[in-house]
């Protein structure tokens, strides 16, 4: 069980949605009525990496709310899903969420054993470095700097893998392989996917997200 | 006597993670961000075990292994790399690496075992050296051969 979902919508829809989310292996950080949701999301973080928006939302409307959320700073990597019906532009809430495997809790457990302060520090270092590396990779690919792009991808891959971020580490390994073969154009083709996956992984690795799940992580729980 | 370990990696998360895990096991760990910084540390601090990345800006892991072999021959070196290819492993061993451990380190056991093994080997050498020292005759008290009539 991992705490990274937020649901927005009227109570009549949320009861069903909560059950679906729990079955997918998540617990819910926040359940918000629509009028409160934008205020919560424009405030200081943390933001969840998954947001479920109820179809048939009163007032502002589900599609408009989704658009507003996407325009918020720091929300580029957040995935939005429709709950309880269809919403234009949103995928239906999946039975099994792919983000459940964004971070391997057994790997994070090894780090958590070092103590909460150390874990918090390492997560902060990771997030700071990953943001720097994303920019450096963009720049290196734009300048055809193969060595720099490879160094950045390689280092990031090791850090992400060591914190249990398997999908991100695999994507970085794919890009690293392309760079090593000198195919910088193909590597650059993955930049959009990298930015999105880095964003969702980054949010899943926020201390404010990880901390509530610590007892379960330390107990060896799996998402 | 504490076991002194030097961890060299340009990636901060790896460097700090390795240092924290080994420190928790009771090793005395310091870190360096590059091969050049590692050599500076080696010059002023006894280092029993060196753990180094291969791909780093500047000197890089292979260059560091080469220098350590000459400048700190008793130090046992462990390579920690994301590029575990046959070429890299053979080249690292040729340059004096004691073992090669793959990144990522989401499972700390292989690295901890490599460190333990490196320390056991080092301790075995030191014990043998100490034993040899005890067996060596005390030349200062040996009778000088008589010279002259």
Q: ipTM value of the model?
A: 0.74
Report how far apart, in Å, the C-alpha atoms of B3 and of each of A66, A137, B76 are: 56, 38, 11
pLDDT, one tens digit per residue, over A159-205 is 998 898 888 998 999 999 999 999 999 999 999 989 988 988 888 88
For residues B132 and B128, give the distance between their C-alpha atoms in angstroms, rounded to a whole number. 6
Would you call A158 and B103 a contact, using CB atoms and an 8 Å cutoff? yes
pLDDT, one tens digit per residue, over A154-165 is 999 999 988 988
A-chain CB neighbours of B16 within 8 Å are 121-122, 125
Angle formed by the axes of helices B12-24 and B109-135, nearest 10°: 60
- Which residue from A minimizes the CA distance to B20? A114
3 state SS of B20: helix
Number of neighbours of residue A222 by Cβ within 10 angstroms:
14
A162 vs B24, B55, B105: nearest CB: B105
3-state secondary structure chain A: CEEEEEEECCHHHHHHHHHHHHHCCEEEEEEECHHHHHHHHHCCCCCCCEEEEECCCCCCCHHHHHHHHHHCCCCCCCEEEEECCCCCCCEECCCCCHHHHCCCHHHHHHHHCCCHHHHHHHHHHHHHHHHHHHHHHHHHHHCCCHHHHHHHHHHHHHHHHHCCCHHHHHHHHHHHHHHHCCCHHHHHCCHHHHHHHHHHHHHHCCHHHHHHHHHHHHCCCCC
Nearest CA-CA partner of A87 in A36, A53, A127, A110: A53
- Which residue from A minimizes the CA distance to B102? A158
A122 vs B13, B83, B108: nearest CB: B13
pLDDT, one tens digit per residue, over B91-149 is 888 898 888 898 888 778 889 989 998 898 888 888 888 888 777 665 555 445 455 44
> When comparing pLDDT for A12 and A125, which is higher?
A125
* Per-residue confidence (pLDDT) for residue B11, from 0 to 100: 93
Report how far apart, in Å, the C-alpha atoms of A59 and of each of A17, A31, A36, A186 are: 20, 17, 12, 45
A220: left (phi over 0), alpha (psi -120 to 50) or beta: left
Token pair recorded at residue A199: 């964003």
The model carries a pTM of 0.67
């Amino acid at each position: 069980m991992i705490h990274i979902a937020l649901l927005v919508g009227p109570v009549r829809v949320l009861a069903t949605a909560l059950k679906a989310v729990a079955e997918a292996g998540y617990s819910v950080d926040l359940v918000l009525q629509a009028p409160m949701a934008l205020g919560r999301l424009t405030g200081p973080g943390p933001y969840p990496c998954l947001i479920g928006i109820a179809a048939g939302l009163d007032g502002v409307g589900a599609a408009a709310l989704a658009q507003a959320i996407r325009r918020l700073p720091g929300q580029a990597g957040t995935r939005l899903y429709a709950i309880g019906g269809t919403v234009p532009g949103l995928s239906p809430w999946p039975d099994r969420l792919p983000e459940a495997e964004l971070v391997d809790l057994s790997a994070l457990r090894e780090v958590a054993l070092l103590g909460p302060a150390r874990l918090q520090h390492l997560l902060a270092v990771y997030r700071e470095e990953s943001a720097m590396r994303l920019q450096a990779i963009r720049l290196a690919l734009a300048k055809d700097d193969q060595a720099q792009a490879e160094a950045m991808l390689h280092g990031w891959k090791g850090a992400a893998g060591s914190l249990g971020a398997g999908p991100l580490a695999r994507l970085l390994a794919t890009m690293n392989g392309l760079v090593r073969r000198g195919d910088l154009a193909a590597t650059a083709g993955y930049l959009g996917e990298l930015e999105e996956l880095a964003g969702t992984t980054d949010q899943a690795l926020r201390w404010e997200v990880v901390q509530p799940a610590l007892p379960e992580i330390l107990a060896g729980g799996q998402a | 006597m504490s076991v002194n370990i030097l961890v060299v990696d340009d990636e901060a998360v790896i460097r700090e993670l390795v240092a924290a895990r080994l420190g928790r096991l009771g090793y005395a760990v310091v870190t360096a961000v590059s091969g050049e910084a590692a050599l500076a540390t080696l010059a002023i601090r006894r280092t029993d075990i060196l753990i180094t990345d291969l791909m780093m800006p500047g000197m890089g892991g292979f260059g560091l292994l080469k220098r350590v072999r000459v400048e700190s021959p008793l130090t046992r070196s462990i390579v920690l790399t994301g590029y575990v290819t046959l070429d890299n492993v053979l080249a690292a061993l040729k340059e004096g690496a004691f073992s090669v451990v793959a990144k990522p380190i989401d499972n700390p056991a292989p690295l901890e075992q490599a460190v333990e093994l490196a320390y056991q080997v080092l301790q075995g050498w030191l014990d043998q050296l100490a034993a040899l020292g005890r067996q060596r005759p005390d030349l200062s008290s040996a009778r000088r051969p008589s010279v002259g009539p």
